[in-house]
C-alpha cells in the first residue's frame, strides 16, 4: 500500500498530545512495517515556512513532503489524518483519528463560534472517512452520541506511551535530582500537575484543593504546574491571589522530556483532575515513572487509569484535597499506587498502536 500521513502536527518541536501521537505512530510504523510505502505529508501554512519534519531517513520506505497544498497524496491508497484536518481535493481512502469531542462534551471551554464551526467541520470530515480511529472507548461513545456516523465505521486503538522517555529513575539519579529541580524553581516536596492550562483541565479546582491543604497545614510543600498556557485564563491570577497561595506555586511552562521524567519521578503525588479527556497521556506517563496518581473518575481518565489510581469527582474540591492528604500522609499507599501504575503502563505501547493501525489500513483497502 501507499500510505500518506498528515504530519503537520510534528513540525513543532514542542509537541503536546496530537504531536506526540503522530510522531510515535510514525516511528513505530517505521519499525514494524517495511512492506508499505509512506509519505509524511505536511500541508504548509503561511507561518510554517521555517519548520521542518523530524528526520525519519532511517526508514527507507519513508518520504517527506512539505507544501502549501495537498500535492503528492493523490497517488496514495490511503490518507491518514492523525486529527481532523483539511484534505483538499483528495478523494481516495481516508482514515481519521479522533481524540476527543471536547467541543460537545465541555462546551463551556470554547467560544460559541468555535463550537459551531468545529461541529460542522467534524461531521463533514467524519462522514468522508472510510475508517475512524478513536483513542478510547469513551471517545468512541461520544462520537456516536453526537455525530451521525455508522457504528461499524469506527474502532478503538489506544495510544501508547514512550517507555524510553518515561521510566523510574535509579536511586543515584534521584539523589542527584536536587539541582535540576532547583533550576525549575522547586525547593522541596511538591504536588505535580501536567497539562495545558485551560478551563477543561480544572486547574481552578486543583488550586482550591491545594489551598485547603495549606490552610490545614497538612502539607508544607509546593504545587508544580507544568504546561503551556492555553486559553480563557483571564481570572486565574485573581483566583490565586484570593486563595493566598502564590508563593507556593511553581509554573514551569513547557518542559523537556527529560525534565518531565524528573518531575513525575520526584513528585509526592501527581494530580490530574480534568473535567474531560479523550485519552490522557499524562496519566500513563506518570504511571511509567512509578508516580502515585490521583485523577478524575470521569471520561477516559477512569478508563485509562483503571484501578491503578485514586479517582475523584473533579467537581468536588474537598474530595480532591482529601485524596491528596491520604497519599501525602501514607507512604505505603503512595508506594502501592506507584507499583500499580507501573504495572498498568506495561499494557500500553506505540508498537501495539501501530500494528492495530495497520490492521485498519488493510481493512479498508480491498
pLDDT reported for residue 235 = 78
Considering only CA atoms, which of 365, 309, 355, 289 is closest in space to residue 157? 355
Only one residue has cell 525534565, namely 259
Only one residue has cell 461531521, namely 123
Full 3-state SS string of the chain: CEEEEECHHHCCCCCCHHHHHHHHHHHHHHHHCCCCEEEEEEECCHHHCCCCCCCCCCCCCEEEEEECCCCCCCCCCEEEECCCCCCCCCCCEEEEEECCCHHHHCHHHCCHHHHHHHHHHHHHHHHHCCEEEECCHHHHHHHHHHCCCCHHHEEECCCCCCCCCCCCCCHHHHHCCHHHHHHCCCCCCEEEEECCECHHHCHHHHHHHHHHHHHHCCCCCEEEEECCECCCCCCHHHHHHHHCCHHHEEEEECCCHHHHHHHHHHCCEEEECCCCCCCCHHHHHHHHCCCCEEEECCHHHHHHHCCCCEEECCCCHHHHHHHHHHHHHCHHHHHHHHHHHHHHHCCCCHHHHHHHHHHHHHHHCC
For the chain, list the domains and their CATH numbers.
2-160+349-364 (3.40.50.2000), 171-345 (3.40.50.2000)
pLDDT reported for residue 336 = 98
Query: 0.85 cut: is pTM over it?
Result: yes
Give tens-digit pLDDT for 149-194. 999 999 999 999 999 999 999 999 999 999 999 999 999 999 999 9
pLDDT reported for residue 12 = 73
pLDDT reported for residue 69 = 64
pLDDT reported for residue 113 = 78
The tens place of each residue's pLDDT in the chain, 366 residues long, gives: 999 999 988 987 667 789 999 999 999 999 999 999 999 988 776 555 566 788 898 999 999 887 766 667 888 999 999 999 888 888 899 999 999 998 889 887 667 777 888 888 899 999 999 999 999 999 999 999 999 999 999 999 999 999 999 999 999 999 999 999 999 999 999 999 999 888 889 999 999 999 999 999 989 999 999 988 766 566 788 889 999 999 999 999 989 999 999 999 999 999 999 999 999 999 999 999 999 999 999 999 999 999 999 999 999 999 999 999 999 999 999 999 999 999 999 999 999 999 999 999 999 997
Give, in degrees to the nearest 5, the angle at Cα 304 between 298 and 306.
85
Complete edge-to-edge strand list for the sheet that includes strand 310-312 = 249-253, 222-226, 190-194, 269-272, 293-296, 310-312
pLDDT reported for residue 87 = 86
Q: The C-alpha cell of 208 is what?
A: 482550591
Amino acid at each position: 500500500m501507499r500510505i500518506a500521513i498528515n504530519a503537520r502536527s510534528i513540525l513543532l518541536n514542542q509537541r503536546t498530545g496530537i504531536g506526540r501521537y503522530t510522531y510515535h505512530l510514525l516511528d513505530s510504523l517505521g519499525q514494524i512495517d517495511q512492506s508499505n510505502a509512506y509519505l509524511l505529508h505536511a500541508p504548509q501554512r503561511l507561518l510554517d515556512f521555517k519548520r521542518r519534519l523530524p528526520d525519519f531517513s532511517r526508514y527507507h520506505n519513508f518520504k517527506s513532503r512539505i507544501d502549501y497544498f495537498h500535492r503528492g497524496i493523490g497517488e496514495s491508497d490511503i490518507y491518514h489524518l492523525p486529527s481532523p484536518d483539511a484534505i483538499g481535493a483528495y478523494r481516495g481512502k481516508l482514515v481519521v483519528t479522533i481524540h476527543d469531542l471536547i467541543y460537545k462534551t465541555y462546551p463551556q471551554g470554547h467560544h460559541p463560534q468555535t463550537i459551531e464551526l468545529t461541529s460542522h467541520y467534524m461531521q463533514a470530515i467524519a462522514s468522508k472517512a472510510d475508517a475512524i480511529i478513536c483513542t478510547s472507548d469513551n471517545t468512541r461513545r461520544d462520537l456516536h452520541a453526537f455525530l451521525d456516523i455508522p457504528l461499524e465505521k469506527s474502532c478503538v486503538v489506544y495510544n501508547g506511551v514512550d517507555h524510553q522517555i518515561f521510566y523510574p529513575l535509579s536511586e543515584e539519579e534521584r539523589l542527584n535530582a536536587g539541582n535540576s529541580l532547583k533550576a525549575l524553581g522547586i525547593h522541596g516536596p511538591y504536588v505535580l500537575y501536567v497539562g495545558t492550562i485551560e478551563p477543561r483541565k480544572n486547574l481552578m479546582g486543583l488550586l482550591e484543593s491545594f489551598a485547603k491543604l495549606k490552610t490545614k497545614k497538612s502539607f508544607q510543600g509546593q504545587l508544580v504546574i507544568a504546561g503551556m498556557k492555553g486559553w480563557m485564563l483571564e481570572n486565574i491570577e485573581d483566583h490565586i491571589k484570593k486563595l493566598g497561595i502564590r508563593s507556593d506555586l511553581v509554573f514551569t511552562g513547557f518542559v523537556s522530556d527529560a525534565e518531565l521524567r524528573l518531575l513525575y519521578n520526584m513528585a509526592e503525588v501527581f494530580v490530574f483532575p480534568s473535567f474531560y479527556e479523550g485519552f490522557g497521556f499524562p496519566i500513563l506517563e506518570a504511571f511509567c515513572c512509578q508516580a502515585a496518581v490521583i485523577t478524575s473518575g470521569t471520561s477516559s481518565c477512569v478508563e485509562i487509569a483503571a484501578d491503578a489510581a485514586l479517582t475523584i469527582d473533579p467537581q468536588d474540591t474537598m474530595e480532591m484535597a482529601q485524596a491528596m492528604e491520604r497519599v501525602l500522609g501514607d507512604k505505603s499507599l503512595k508506594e502501592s499506587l506507584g507499583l500499580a501504575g507501573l504495572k498498568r503502563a506495561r499494557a500500553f505501547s506505540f508498537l501495539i498502536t501501530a500494528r492495530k493501525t495497520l490492521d485498519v489500513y488493510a481493512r479498508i483497502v480491498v
